[in-house]
Amino acid sequence: MSAPRDGASRLLRLLAERLESYFEGDELALETLGESIEEAQLSGDDAETAILALRGAAASSESEGGGHAAATLERLPGKQAQRVWSKEERESLSPEAWGYLIDLRRRGSLDDGQFERVLDFLTSCGVRPVTVDLAREVAARVALEVDDTGRLEGAHGEFDQTH
């Protein structure tokens, strides 16, 4: 099984090769880029990850006064980085539930670890699509009532939290 960022790395290498060819005088290098991406069978998630990496590198370069940034895919994202949905999350959560959780994280009601625990539970609970009400209940339990065993407890019984 390839690493989750392998597709994004391949796409970035492909873009770099095509740009280099274009600047070396190959006028068709960018015109055939779309075909090359299709042939490489890259997913939308790969493209989103590559776009975020490019934007992060540009932002990092700008913040360092235009110098060369050491931006890599292994580097941890900054506070303003946007999390890319996995395919399972896109199929599991309603857009309203996702928006609600993003807002909780943005306001600081859930830290990054709590946010991931909420998502982990919601994507594995079997409810499709997850509603805002269920997301609100699980988020509240994670934020307020996690006991030492890692189990979420509340008025409606226990939730096992996957790790």
Q: Are 88 and 57 in contact (CB under 8 A)?
A: no
pLDDT the model gives residue 67: 46
Once rounded to an integer, what is the mean pLDDT over residues 96-108?
86
For residue 156, pLDDT beyond 80: no
pLDDT the model gives residue 120: 87
pLDDT the model gives residue 79: 58
- Structure pTM? 0.43
Query: What digits encode the pLDDT tens for the residues 40-58?
Result: 888 887 888 888 777 777 7
